Chains A and B, each alone.
Chain A
């Protein structure tokens, strides 16, 4: 959005809306990193902080939504302005969900800090970093209205799926070999699933940004490689 509106306060409304999204994004990013840190540091105190901090993002989402509704009611935005407001609404919801996943990871970190380490978990921090980078880049793309950058993030979700596939398989094998570790292993499995979902949400945000900037929908055949829904280990020879 290049030039300014004749009604200056309209610009201010849109700026405020973007500011909510940036704040939520920054917090969500920090929450994922914090949750992973609590997990790998086996730090229940930190995990508790992460869980408590989720509230701030929920509150921001409510504020952002309220502001978006007010902007629609008062300004009747059209064209790119309309896309801007609707995009902000949708992105706010996705960021709130992402933060929920981070909170869930932190909860599981509390449990895992009290149990024997699960070996396949070593891959989680790297997966967490990959997902956090995706989120960071997609938020940059939002800030700079960069459709190409959004698209690049969208294409990177395959990496997260690859992490998840490989972890899924190794956890299944690990559980068969160590039945006494099924409980912590299941928690790790859910953590991996949470990270995978965060990656999906980041790609959804990328699609929204693409639409916001260009007015066109990105073709939706994303390079996907989450095959775990069809995975069987130990039953058939592969």
Chain B
């Protein structure tokens, strides 16, 4: 164990904290998948979770918008707050929560509908648009923010699934943005993309930073080094080290972190 309940691994304690996790444990049946993780996520930063497969990084990410609720065998303990509100509170509306804490997955998963509908669906069910004009505006703005507008503005009625992989992923990011989230979780958003599409997503992440708190799980260490300001290294369910990205990748404090990022692990 590297983390105690009382002392979260954080490097700054000032106001811009968007989410806090304290002593979070996850069990899949008998398996203790995440062990007492405490962490703060800042609103104005990109936070990267790295670690070998099965280290708990995706499990933890999925705690942040209660995606683990959908896994029958999963049990989550501890405290996770969004702007000081306990997201596991009985009164918390999970649908609302997942709009505030949006998610982008490893494999682009657009709805089998038009590009327009992919974006419009969320705002419509959340009642964010009063009129068709409102909705058009939200669709255009979201696609612009996701850097996809110029590529699709003339074919908004084409199917979202007809786009290239990289475009589909940006469409999914636009879809997440459309409901005005505060936090965007990304679970290996580039691992199914080629290097050019990956670069576009990274550029987009850089663009979105500041407007949304972004938490990204990635297997690509260079990607974590490029896009994030804070990096957390997970290993076998423990949060081993959490700190400024610049330090984690140049002078990690823990041997385990060092071995992992320099390619000496296992």
List chain A positions with a Cβ less than 8 A from chain B: 3-7, 10, 76-83, 215-216
Partner of B263 from the list A10, A83, A215 (CB cut-off 8 Å) is: A10
What chain B residues lie within 8 Å of A78 (beta carbons)? 221, 225, 249-250, 261-262
Nearest-neighbour CB distance to chain B for A12, whole angstroms, equals 13
What chain A residues lie within 8 Å of B262 (beta carbons)? 5, 77-81
B142-150, B188-196, B206-214, B251-259: which lies at the interface: B251-259
B264 at the interface (CB under 8 A from A): yes
What chain B residues lie within 8 Å of A3 (beta carbons)? 259, 264
Which size class do B's interface residues fall under? 10 to 19
B265 at the interface (CB under 8 A from A): yes
Contact sample, A vs B, 20 pairs, CB 8 Å cutoff: A3-B259, A3-B264, A4-B264, A5-B262, A5-B263, A5-B264, A6-B264, A6-B265, A6-B266, A76-B222, A78-B262, A79-B249, A79-B252, A79-B262, A80-B262, A82-B249, A82-B250, A83-B251, A215-B250, A216-B251
The contact string, 1 if C-beta is below 8 Å from chain A, for chain B 59-96, is: 00000000000000000000000000000000000000
List chain B positions with a Cβ less than 8 A from chain A: 221-222, 225, 249-252, 258-259, 261-266
The interface centre, meaning the residue of A4, A76, A77, A79 with most chain B CB atoms within 10 A of its CB, is: A79
Q: With A and B bound together, what is the CA distance between A3 and B263 in angstroms?
A: 10
Closest residue of chain A to B222 (Cβ to Cβ) is: A76
Nearest-neighbour CB distance to chain A for B65, whole angstroms, equals 30
Closest residue of chain B to A77 (Cβ to Cβ) is: B262
Nearest-neighbour CB distance to chain A for B219, whole angstroms, equals 14
Nearest-neighbour CB distance to chain A for B91, whole angstroms, equals 44
Closest residue of chain B to A82 (Cβ to Cβ) is: B250
Closest residue of chain B to A86 (Cβ to Cβ) is: B250
What chain A residues lie within 8 Å of B261 (beta carbons)? 78-79
Q: A78-B225, A78-B250 are in contact. List 6 more A-B contacts (CB 8 A).
A: A3-B264, A5-B263, A78-B249, A79-B250, A81-B262, A215-B250
Q: With A and B bound together, what is the CA distance between A81 and B261 in angstroms?
A: 10
Q: With A and B bound together, what is the CA distance between A215 and B262 in angstroms?
A: 14
Q: With A and B bound together, what is the CA distance between A7 and B262 in angstroms?
A: 10
The 4 closest A-B pairs by CB, nearest first: A215-B251, A78-B261, A3-B264, A5-B263
The interface centre, meaning the residue of B221, B252, B261, B262 with most chain A CB atoms within 10 A of its CB, is: B262
Nearest-neighbour CB distance to chain B for A184, whole angstroms, equals 50
Known contacts A215-B250, A215-B251: A80-B258 contact under CB 8 Å: yes
What chain A residues lie within 8 Å of B251 (beta carbons)? 79, 83, 215-216
What chain A residues lie within 8 Å of B266 (beta carbons)? 6
The interface centre, meaning the residue of A7, A80, A216 with most chain B CB atoms within 10 A of its CB, is: A80
Nearest-neighbour CB distance to chain B for A163, whole angstroms, equals 37
What chain B residues lie within 8 Å of A83 (beta carbons)? 250-251
Q: In the complex the two chains form, is B263's CB within 8 Å of A6's CB?
A: yes
Partner of A7 from the list B221, B252, B263 (CB cut-off 8 Å) is: B263
Closest residue of chain A to B221 (Cβ to Cβ) is: A78
Nearest-neighbour CB distance to chain A for B132, whole angstroms, equals 49
Closest residue of chain A to B251 (Cβ to Cβ) is: A215
Closest residue of chain A to B258 (Cβ to Cβ) is: A79
What chain B residues lie within 8 Å of A81 (beta carbons)? 262
Q: With A and B bound together, what is the CA distance between A10 and B261 in angstroms?
A: 13
Q: With A and B bound together, what is the CA distance between A4 and B222 in angstroms?
A: 20
What chain B residues lie within 8 Å of A4 (beta carbons)? 264
Q: With A and B bound together, what is the CA distance between A216 and B253 in angstroms?
A: 11
What chain B residues lie within 8 Å of A7 (beta carbons)? 263
